[in-house]
Structure 1
Amino acid sequence: MNQRSKRWQDIFIVAAIILLATALRVYRLDELPPGLHFDEAFNATMARNVLLGVERPIFFRQDLTEEPMAIYTTALAFGILGQSAWTLRFVSALVGIAGVGALYFLARALFQSRWIAALSALTLAVLYWHLNFSRLGMEPIFTPLMATLAFAFLWQGLSLRAAHPSSTLRSAQNARRAMTLPFALAGFFFAATLYTYKAALFIPILVGAFILLEIILDHAFWARHHRGLIIFALVAILVYAPLGLYLVAHPDEFFQRPSTVAATNFTIVENIARVAGMFFINGDTNPRSNLPERPALDPFLALGFSIGIAICLARFRRDAPARFLLLWLIVMSLPSILTDFAPHFGRNLAVTPALALIVAFGFASLIEHSRLNRSLFTVRFACSLLIAGFAFSTFSTARDYFFVWGARTGLYDSFDVGIYTLAQKLRDRPGDEIVYITPADPEHYTIRFALDDRDVRVFDGRRVIVLPPAESVATFGIITRADTRTRARLEKFYREARVIEPLDDFTAQPYAIILRVQGAPHIAPEKIVHANFGDVIELIGYDIAREQNAVALTLYWRSRAITRDDYTVFAQLLGAPNPATQSPVWAQADAQPTDPTSHWRVGEIIIDESRIPLPENLPRGEYEIQIGMYILNTGARLPVFTSNRAPTERDSVSIERSTYP
């Protein structure tokens, strides 16, 4: 077969395998995974910021820090395909598909075998572990692609140099350039891995260990390859320099995430067993990373892996590819062994190409052994078993992902489906409506990305309620699964309150409602007050209740002006001077409102709660309760204003006189 025919055969094989990989990675991508998990939403939010020019850092400090490659790639895709969860995940799908093609290239360089290359790519294409992360909008999937390309070019350079003696190359400049280019590209992609994900920090250890081992076992290795390896190192240093210099200047950021997930010495011993067992027995239990506890390999692939491992061990001293694969498997398992929640398929994802190569090596060796029998029947039988086995693996992966894992009702919470759907629906409300969500974190990236810059107020209705300015139209997204209080209170304050849409989870249980209110609320505090603090905040009323050892206050505040300060409310119980302290203050409660004052908008009414604990030795007598506000950092109090909005010398108001206890 001539060179051109071989090239077309390669193209046909790769195209067929990539077609299969593509089908598995893009089928129902708009449905599975559902929702948008927090970590995915972080990448999406940062990518949108990059696209809009809000920030374009070399390293992202938020969310315990993250490398930039996935975010910048997603920003580019957002600019072309639009900003959506589908686009975010489509980027990962493309990277996963490219990883399958890159592995074919690496296997050809390692083994000079089209047969092993095809089996390697096919294994990765149907590997559940790799498929799962190819459909998540997260950064780990970038690491195996960049590592595979780096190793493919590195191995190509090593093979080319070994195939052409230095005496021949020295007289041929074009041959020298042909030898230099693979090492330069290997250095580029090697450095690129360090822009992908924290676990990639182990790749320099892998490459360094392999080169050192080759120098020990092959004394001529350095003499043959030193020029190419120096080029490799120089290019890698140059490409990594921008990120490397930043991390040298900010070492605390560099170690922030690793320090939070590091395992103890005792746990590391347990993790070794767990990681070893993940291939055959129990895999990752996280439903976002795996069908919980599904081993990394199905029975068929486990067979090929076992054979491949045995052959690699047998050939360790005489076969450089065998040494490389074993080192790859061991070193890139360390990110999971040395951290918590082992086995962690995300941190171990860079193992998957090595896994596929070892499986292919095992099966190819089996077929080669059958050929030695010189029996056509034996060869055909072995090939038939191989075809049937890969058909089984493909079926097993598709079934487990799309029909078993995809049908799990727990995915509703695992992928933040509820809050993502609720935020999207609130985003689409008419622009003249004020939108509220309770209870939720305003910095939750799933909410931020889904709202797409829609202005929304977030508060915790389990402890406070925020009412919109009078005569406005407002929509409340209430997560009733968590907040069982807000709906009843709104229906009490607004006679025309109505539920626009309920949201149920995957088990048809209520998750949230969207409720619309309009007009002025009908609030009726037990006691009416008109206390203007700094012409910024007004206390308009309160409810009071006696508990066994405390006084419970419900305070009705109205925002008069926007403030950037988060004020602290103090509630004091004052009486005759305390003999022990010579102060009239017998009890006091200081706390910021549950909804911070910097969030308050003009005209809103905030109904919050405060509780003054009473001392056990409180003598019976007449006491008064005073309320005021101050800035915690400075102690500066807000002055009380008159009805004409003029400041007075007072900085608190008396709201209640009564006998205690």
Structure 2
Amino acid sequence: MHDRVPDGHSSRNLTQSQGKDQILVPLVAVGIVIALTAVVVMTRLYRLSEVPPGIINDEGANGVDALQVLQGQHQVFFAEKASGREPLAIYATALATLLLGPSLLAFHLPPALASAGAVLAVFWLGLLLFGSDEQSGRPRPWRGLTVAGVGAGVMAASIGQTFLARGGFRANFLPLILALSLALLWRSWGHTDRRKASWWGLALAGACAGLLLYTYIPARFAPFLFLLFGLSFLIPFGDVAKARIKAEWPKAGLFVAVAGLVAAPILTYFILHPDDFFFRSREISLSLDSRRPLLGAFLNNVVDYLLIFGVAGDPNENYNFAGKPLLSPWEALFFWAGVGMSLWRWRRRPPYRLLLIWLGVMLLPAMLSYNRGHGPNALRIIGAAPAAYLLVGVGVWETARLLKGRISFQNATAAAVVGLLVTCFILAQGILAYRTYFNEWVGTPNYYAAADAEIAAAAHVLNMQPSDAPSVYLIPYYLSNGHHGFDYLYQGEAPAHVIHSTMTHLPQRIESILASNEEVSSVKVVDWNDELRWIGRGEEYTVALLEKYGTYLGSQQHTFLQVHTFTDVALDRPWTFYANLGPPSVNYDGGISLLGTALGQGDTQLAAQPQINLGPERTFWIAMRWQTAPGLDTEFALSLRLHDSEGGGVYQRDIVLLDPNYSRTNNWPPEQPVETLYHMEIPPDLKPGEYELRLIVYDYETLQPTVELGVWKPEAVLAFLQVE
């Protein structure tokens, strides 16, 4: 049926218009769905087996747990890795892995399908919310198609949503389940005289609502969305509200009961393990912002997340492209128009009210989180994004009404124009998103870096290695110690270890790995190609250690890396970079002593002399041996500083003192030597010349330095360096 019929039209014309609408509305809806499907296939699913080319470390934990699920280890909350994760995405990944094997496609497919499904669910929800008059229940199909088509189209073609969909994030399940729950609830409630309540539909809506807690942390705010929207029907509270409560409570009771039943397993888990419920929240609490009071930090976040609508977006390239805002400037214009009209129609128009409550409640998880000065976080607002996109559709519709006065679609031409415009808009936006992602992003160095592509390449190469003799693979990696994405993708028989290439106790770590294997005939070390600038350096230290304690056999060259093979590895003596330690030795008044130091490059220890020439290489390592006194309860850190010939500080690196077990100094065994190794990289813009390398040891909590006994100064000179 048409939206409005001007007075004076004959009943015959009205009947003809209604008949045409009955034919045109389904055709236009099908056309829009086809356009939406084409866009999500282009942006979410096209070349998904190879784009992106890797798995982000944190998200890779889902894959590792999916492998454990396939081995029979089932949980309602996976607390061990990556600050704890909800299980829905993990079980979906397990199913995909069962069907496709551990692969990039199996890992990325479930979240991508969830994101694609969310677009269609938002379209359906928009049709339900705006496809009929809120007061009379009369159909208003063209309003519904416009709002739903524009909103879902903007969502389908969003470059930010494309990044999130392809990134393997479990958060993609949140907008899908939330949109389905709201759509089922709206459709089944029977809020008009023409539609009776559907008890099965309400039960399904409740099941989806309960399932939300299994998706992503911000879903914990969804109950407040349902509660506030329900309470909004009781304002002002009086006899009408009391009558409504009496009439509607059975439906609300069924919805809440089913939601509680579905959510019961994870709620029970959190009751028994409250630390797991709060752990991630404590990690990103606003109280961690040391620069602002709590209210100031919150208000700063409010500004950041309001600017995301048309001004500035998330700069994190795992979540977004080039810091683009969630909405383009023209989309933001209609969004704010939609917000304004929704506020104007707050009391009498429940669909408008729902979108505002949805937007406000689901923005709160992001606004209450500490972003560490990195700007807005697109992942944390994913639950609010569908409401924002539908508000764009509302803005388009309401703007058109204001400009035209009244919209009357009484003929096929006008209806076809609406359908054609919305469909063309969706396709045009989709083409722009496709060009941005595949032409401007794919293939750039940042594209490979953001996806940890080199780790996936290493897993692929090592999976292809023959397993004819007992071997151990070492993958030095500057960005992390261990990598969940590698653990998911690597399926070889030989043990493989991703180790931090410049970790404090690298020699002891490698020695421990090799000693833990009963038989090792060869050690194969990954050496990244020099063009992979985003990885940083450091693998040469692992290679140097193997050259020192083993026999080099040869290398294999691959696209991203080389694999060096060593044999006859000696494990009969402790592994170190240095032959001996030299001065200075320093006894501090804080109960800690420096027993000696050594400097070197690669497998070469630089001879102790008045001045050490680093040569053209601007990297070196420094080994130190420490000892603590009994009863020490201080956590110490050290500061390594370069000073120029005039005494001015030009470079500084601060490090918490840790032993090989990653224990801080207050937990070290007293009077037992502890060795540390640090890799220093002098900035490339530092001018050639002579520099002093100085050491300061200080209390990590109070920042108060400890001083040398008898000298009573905090600084000790470790070496004089000549930088070329």
Classify the TM-score, shorter chain.
Answer: 0.7 to 0.9
Report the alpha carbon displacement of residue 537 of structure 1 after superposing the two structures with TM: 7.3
Aligned partners of 2:150 and 2:426 also within 8 Å = no
Task: Provide the residue aligned with 2:381 in structure 1.
Answer: 348
Task: Provide the residue aligned with 2:491 in structure 1.
Answer: 452
- In the alignment, the residues of structure 2 paired with residue 390 and residue 300 of structure 1 have an alpha-carbon distance, to the nearest angstrom, of 15
Report the alpha carbon displacement of residue 421 of structure 1 after superposing the two structures with TM: 1.9
* Equivalent residue in structure 2 for 1:421, among 432, 457, 472: 457
Task: Provide the residue aligned with 1:364 in structure 2.
Answer: 397
- In the alignment, the residues of structure 1 paired with residue 79 and residue 500 of structure 2 have an alpha-carbon distance, to the nearest angstrom, of 27
Give SS of 1:149's match. helix
Task: Provide the residue aligned with 2:55 in structure 1.
Answer: 36
Aligned partners of 1:436 and 1:459 also within 8 Å = no
Give the 5 Å matches for 1:197-276. 197-217=216-236, 219=241, 220-264=243-287, 265=294, 266-276=296-306
- Higher mean Cα deviation, 127-136 or 213-222? 213-222
- In the alignment, the residues of structure 2 paired with residue 129 and residue 553 of structure 1 have an alpha-carbon distance, to the nearest angstrom, of 49
Report the alpha carbon displacement of residue 41 of structure 1 after superposing the two structures with TM: 0.8
- In the alignment, the residues of structure 1 paired with residue 22 and residue 43 of structure 2 have an alpha-carbon distance, to the nearest angstrom, of 32
Aligned partners of 2:150 and 2:393 also within 8 Å = yes
Give SS of 1:61's match. coil
- In the alignment, the residues of structure 2 paired with residue 41 and residue 287 of structure 1 have an alpha-carbon distance, to the nearest angstrom, of 17
Report the alpha carbon displacement of residue 89 of structure 1 after superposing the two structures with TM: 0.9
* Equivalent residue in structure 1 for 2:540, among 455, 460, 484: 484
Larger radius of gyration: 1
Q: How high is the sequence identity, in percent, across the aligned residues?
A: 27
Give the 5 Å matches for 1:484-563. 484-491=540-547, 496-501=552-557, 504=560, 512-518=561-567, 520=568, 543-549=579-585, 550-551=595-596
Query: Structure 1 pair 268/593, CA: closer, same or farther in 2 (3 Å)?
Result: closer
Give SS of 1:141's match. helix
Aligned partners of 1:143 and 1:193 also within 8 Å = yes
Aligned partners of 1:305 and 1:358 also within 8 Å = yes
Aligned partners of 1:419 and 1:447 also within 8 Å = yes
Give SS of 2:107's match. helix
TM-score by length of 1: 0.73
Report the alpha carbon displacement of residue 242 of structure 1 after superposing the two structures with TM: 1.0
Task: Provide the residue aligned with 2:358 in structure 1.
Answer: 328
- In the alignment, the residues of structure 2 paired with residue 229 and residue 4 of structure 1 have an alpha-carbon distance, to the nearest angstrom, of 36
Residue 309, structure 1, aligned to residue 358, structure 2: no
Partner AA of 1:133 in structure 2: L
Task: Provide the residue aligned with 1:60 in structure 2.
Answer: 78
Task: Provide the residue aligned with 2:651 in structure 1.
Answer: none
Partner AA of 1:451 in structure 2: Y
Task: Provide the residue aligned with 2:705 in structure 1.
Answer: none
Partner AA of 1:356 in structure 2: Y
- Higher mean Cα deviation, 185-194 or 208-217? 208-217
Deviations 1:590-645 (A, max 9, x none): 9966899xxxxxxxxxxx9679x9x978xxxxxxxxxxxxxxxxxxxxxxxxxxxx
Report the alpha carbon displacement of residue 452 of structure 1 after superposing the two structures with TM: 2.6
Report the alpha carbon displacement of residue 491 of structure 1 after superposing the two structures with TM: 4.1
- In the alignment, the residues of structure 2 paired with residue 539 and residue 305 of structure 1 have an alpha-carbon distance, to the nearest angstrom, of 65
Report the alpha carbon displacement of residue 35 of structure 1 after superposing the two structures with TM: 1.4
Give SS of 1:437's match. strand
- In the alignment, the residues of structure 2 paired with residue 222 and residue 104 of structure 1 have an alpha-carbon distance, to the nearest angstrom, of 30
* Equivalent residue in structure 2 for 1:393, among 397, 412, 429: 429
- In the alignment, the residues of structure 2 paired with residue 210 and residue 471 of structure 1 have an alpha-carbon distance, to the nearest angstrom, of 64
Query: Structure 1 pair 14/478, CA: closer, same or farther in 2 (3 Å)?
Result: same
Give SS of 1:317's match. coil
Task: Provide the residue aligned with 2:174 in structure 1.
Answer: 143
Task: Provide the residue aligned with 2:472 in structure 1.
Answer: 435
- In the alignment, the residues of structure 2 paired with residue 414 and residue 404 of structure 1 have an alpha-carbon distance, to the nearest angstrom, of 14
- In the alignment, the residues of structure 1 paired with residue 29 and residue 364 of structure 2 have an alpha-carbon distance, to the nearest angstrom, of 34
- In the alignment, the residues of structure 2 paired with residue 434 and residue 373 of structure 1 have an alpha-carbon distance, to the nearest angstrom, of 74
- In the alignment, the residues of structure 2 paired with residue 489 and residue 67 of structure 1 have an alpha-carbon distance, to the nearest angstrom, of 41
Give SS of 2:164's match. helix
TM-score by length of 2: 0.67
Residue 196, structure 1, aligned to residue 196, structure 2: no
- In the alignment, the residues of structure 2 paired with residue 147 and residue 123 of structure 1 have an alpha-carbon distance, to the nearest angstrom, of 18
- In the alignment, the residues of structure 2 paired with residue 267 and residue 67 of structure 1 have an alpha-carbon distance, to the nearest angstrom, of 28
Query: Structure 1 pair 428/362, CA: closer, same or farther in 2 (3 Å)?
Result: same
Query: Structure 1 pair 382/461, CA: closer, same or farther in 2 (3 Å)?
Result: closer
Query: Structure 1 pair 540/46, CA: closer, same or farther in 2 (3 Å)?
Result: closer
- In the alignment, the residues of structure 2 paired with residue 56 and residue 402 of structure 1 have an alpha-carbon distance, to the nearest angstrom, of 38
How large is the RMSD of aligned CA atoms in angstroms? 3.7
Give SS of 1:347's match. helix
- In the alignment, the residues of structure 2 paired with residue 252 and residue 230 of structure 1 have an alpha-carbon distance, to the nearest angstrom, of 30
* Equivalent residue in structure 2 for 1:179, among 187, 191, 198: 198
Q: Structure 1: any 5+ residue segments left out of the alignment?
A: 166-174, 505-511, 524-535, 555-570, 574-589, 597-607, 618-661
Give the 5 Å matches for 1:505-654. 512-518=561-567, 520=568, 543-549=579-585, 550-551=595-596
Partner AA of 1:414 in structure 2: A
- In the alignment, the residues of structure 1 paired with residue 416 and residue 435 of structure 2 have an alpha-carbon distance, to the nearest angstrom, of 28
Report the alpha carbon displacement of residue 442 of structure 1 after superposing the two structures with TM: 6.0
Report the alpha carbon displacement of residue 323 of structure 1 after superposing the two structures with TM: 0.7
Report the alpha carbon displacement of residue 203 of structure 1 after superposing the two structures with TM: 0.6
Give SS of 1:515's match. strand
